[in-house]
Amino acid sequence: MLTLTTESELTSLHAGLVKESLHLEYKASDAVDKKSDSKKLEMARDVSAFANADGGQIVTA
């Protein structure tokens, strides 16, 4: 699990210095658009994949 304990860790995450992995997925903030069925489906698939695997975190920006 990703743990952010310092401001520099958060800055690195925001700057994209932390790469996506089996446990971390980045999504644009419009990925949670309630009006777009295709975006809701993509988010549901990502959440399901994490739930069926070893877990993970989704970060929206």
pLDDT in tens, 2-43: 777 888 888 888 787 888 888 888 887 777 777 888 888 888
- Would the pLDDT of 1 be above 80? no
Domain containing residue 45: 20-60
Would residue 47 count as lying in a domain? yes
Would residue 46 count as lying in a domain? yes
The domain total for the chain is 1
CA atoms of 9 and 15, how far apart (whole Å): 10
| 28-32-37-40 Cα dihedral, nearest 10 degrees | 90
Instruction: Report pTM.
Output: 0.63
Would residue 30 count as lying in a domain? yes
